[in-house]
Amino acid sequence: MSELARKTHAERTDLSDRLMLDAAISMIVERGTDRTTLKEVGEHAGYSRGLAGYRFGSKAGLFEAIVRSVGEKWLAELKRVTQGKCGLAAINAAVDEHCRVCLEASDTVRAFYILWFESIGVQSPVKAVIHGIHERRRRDVIQWVEQSDYAGPATAAAIADQFNAAVLGIVYYWLANPDNRRSTIAQHNELKANMALYFAGDSA
């Protein structure tokens, strides 16, 4: 069915969408968002100059589409590995999964986080999507803490913020030093150890 010939409209757009998103992800990882041009996204995907701009409306629209599609898969995966867990067990599972994905080092995730960080300075559609993802992550962590028997001094929200800040910081250094696998692993482990401190002497 992947002949050059006969395709339904839906199949055509699905295909060109996928090809262009893949092309864009590669280009973002290789040369950054600045030097990723709509023209080349279209052409690398095997289409014309103009298709990426036409399909996604603008460069920001293209980036938004990437963040949306990757973000959804990512959140679903995190949900899966923490299913039925709470407290430190859920946190550990989430950190492990996160570390695994970083080490896997797919262009997809790298591009996702590059767009995440770059969205900070602009009033782009990407920023809104990221904000939503962040909020969902935050709520998840709060829930894990609240459903556990944690009874320490820090609020669940404070722990969640601390946790998410740490994850983001770790991601930053991972992006900056992609080849230092040892450090990536160590920082994830240290985060788990750090979170365990909250749950260590809390039975009082």
Q: Are 107 and 29 in contact (CB under 8 A)?
A: yes
Quick check: 136 binds a second copy (CB under 8 A)?
Answer: no
Residue 6 CB, shortest distance to a second copy, in Å, is 40
In this structure, what DSSP letter does residue 153 have?
S
Interface residues with DNA (CB under 7 A) are 5-10, 12-13, 15-16, 36-40, 42, 47-51, 53-55, 57-60
User: What totals of helices (H) and strands (E) does the chain contain, helices first?
Assistant: 9, 0
The one of DNA, a second copy, none whose footprint includes residue 53, by CB under 5 to 8 A per kind, is: DNA
| Three-class secondary structure of residue 85 per DSSP | coil
Q: Are 183 and 177 in contact (CB under 8 A)?
A: yes
Residue 62 CB, shortest distance to DNA, in Å, is 8
Amino acid at 85: K
The one of DNA, a second copy, none whose footprint includes residue 178, by CB under 5 to 8 A per kind, is: none
Q: Can you give the C-alpha Rg of the chain in angstroms?
A: 20
Residues 33-92 that bind a second copy (CB under 8 A): 33-35
Q: Nearest Cα to 69, choosing from 56, 82, 83, 81?
A: 56
* Chain positions contacting a second copy, by CB under 8 A: 28, 31-35, 114-115, 117-118, 120-124, 127, 131, 134, 154, 158-159, 161-162, 164-170, 172-173, 175-176, 183, 186-187, 190-191, 193-194, 197-198
